[in-house]
Structure 1
Amino acid sequence: MLTIEAFSLYIMICVLAPLIGAFTLLFLFVFEKRIDLIEKEKNEIALENELQKARYNQLNQEIQPHFFFNTMNSILSLARLERKQELIHSIETFSKLLKHKYKTNTTFITIEEELSYVLSYLEIQKIRFRDRLEYQITAEPDVQQAITLPFLIQTLVENAFKHSFEKKAGKAELAIHIEAEGPALRITVTNSLPNEGESDSADGGIGLSNISKRLDLLFPDEEKSVGISHSPHRTKVEVVFPLVYKSDLKE
């Protein structure tokens, strides 16, 4: 037979047990959220570090002295030939390109923004390569406001010149194609005159390795890939990652 004290203790346990359980679950929920927040902040810091590394690589490798001086010599030749309109356009384009190199400091930009700077770069290269260079850019209208990593497309384009067009004679043909494939965005850059000095993996070069690392940080739990393939007549690089629009991030 229960005593009054034992019965009171039993009642107290019955009352307190659900409360203790609820507080424990609440604590675990808050703790888990805190862990997720810390992990998110850690990824954001790592992503920013990789972006700074990408900027460093762009400033110290892609804008190489030979590119700079060859471009300046091309602009100087326009001045000597008194081709005023072409000269003004070339200086404006070169200035826009350098401004982008030095001032881009966000973790992502839109496809439309990235392509505008890629076009500046290609216009400069057109001055250098003249009729030898042909390029084509195709991007579906509905992907223009999709986000991408800063320098992603430009790095792939610059690799084509650095590892191919500047090392080999012949027609320099470049094709950039961007399309949506269900929930994914596919960016393909193909160039004639196969690249030299790059392996078939994303770790084959600083540029591709950096792109792969930044994609892992920006989309840690999503499918993505960076691949490069060579054939006797071309080199193709494909980058696939989740299709996310800038407007989605604002909501």
Structure 2
Amino acid sequence: MVTFNLYTALITIAMLAPIIGSITLFSILAFEREIDFLTHENQRIHLEKELKESEYLQLNQQIHPHFLFNTINLVLGLARLQKTEQLIKVLEHLSLFLKFKYQLREQLIPFSQELDYTKHYLTIQQIRLGERLTITYDVGTKDHDILIPPYLLQTLTENAFKHSLEKKVGQVELVIRFTTDETNAYLEVIDNGIGEIPANFDIDSSSGHGLRNIQSRFSLLFGKDASVQLDQIQDGGVKAIVIWPIKR
């Protein structure tokens, strides 16, 4: 026999069942939409990351050393003069320089690795200019594990030779300085050449692609937390300064 209380419970269940079913259905649909949204968002982030990596690698490959032409002329000159020892040394460093450049795919490398790579370039320049060139390394012995965009130091030194030092007659000097504080790394490349920074100089609109390349790579890697600037030295020469957040 159906009691009044049981009858009431059955009526209540019958009335609530469609409502509960609708709420459950809407919850399932909302959950599925959320899953679809997260899936698409994850795909978008992944594609943006791949695009940035592709753009970054393309920027890396845009760095074509100006000194290659000078190096070829140097090799020809040493060959004509039969300076075999110097010729072999130039070719060894050129080979190591190119091997590093075209095999590297990392977005960031330790400063020590970038410094070693740049020294191949500077050794060739030292042979080219002989006793006219003095190179000073003020880089200390600590923090060489800090990560740096590859070719950054080499590009700055190449710019110093191309736009300033190679135009000067007499003694030329290059100083490479690397320092850090609690949050940032500072790299300076200082020359005593005759390079001049135009008034209202803007890296983004500069004619040389080297600094713009660094600026573009910094933007992709660090956003607004990194900077590139050029300062005119009063007694002659140019100081290039780059600042970026410390990563190890």
Q: Is TM > 0.5 for Structure 1 vs Structure 2?
A: yes
DSSP 3-state at the match of 1:190: strand
1:234 aligns with 2:237: yes
Instruction: Provide the C-alpha distance between the structure 1 equivalents of 2:62 and 2:193, rounded to a whole number of angstroms.
Output: 29
**Aligned pairs (5 A) from 1:147-162:** 147-162=147-162
- 1:38-68 CA-to-partner distances (Å, cap 9, x unmatched) read 11111111112212222xx33xx3422x342
Q: After the TM superposition, which residues 2-81 of structure 1 pair with which residues of structure 2 at under 5 Å, given as runs?
A: 6-54=15-63, 57-58=64-65, 61-64=66-69, 66-74=70-78, 77=81, 79=83
Is 2:230 aligned against 1:225?
no
Aligned mates of 2:187, 2:77 — CA distance in 1: 33
Q: CA RMSD for the aligned pairs?
A: 2.9
Structure 1: 5+ residue stretches without partners: 246-251
Corresponding letter in the other structure for 2:154: Q
Rg: which structure is higher?
2
Contact 1:163–1:197 (CA under 8 A) maintained in structure 2: no
**What is the CA-CA distance between 1:74 and the residue it aligns to?**
4.6
Whichever residue aligns with residue 77 of structure 2, its letter is N
Show the counterpart of 2:182.
182
Stretches of structure 2 that go unaligned for 5 or more consecutive residues are 1-10
Number of aligned positions between the proteins: 235
Change in Cα spacing, 1:50 to 1:38, as seen in structure 2 (3 Å) is: same
CA offsets 1:170-204 (integer angstroms, 9 cap, x no match): 32111111222323222111111242477733232
Deviation at 1:111, TM superposition (A): 1.5
Query: What is the rounded CA distance, in whole Å, between the counterparts of 2:143 and 2:131 in structure 1?
Result: 30
Paired residue type of 2:72: F
Change (3 A) 1:76 1:95: farther
Residue 202 of structure 2 aligns with which residue?
201
Change (3 A) 1:97 1:228: same
Query: Greater shift after overlay, 3-12 or 227-236?
Result: 3-12
The Cα of 1:145 is off from its aligned counterpart by 2.3
Determine what percentage of the aligned residue pairs are the same residue: 28
| Per-residue CA distance 1:68-121 (angstroms, 9 max, x = gap) | 213542565472xx8x5x555444334323433444444333221221121122
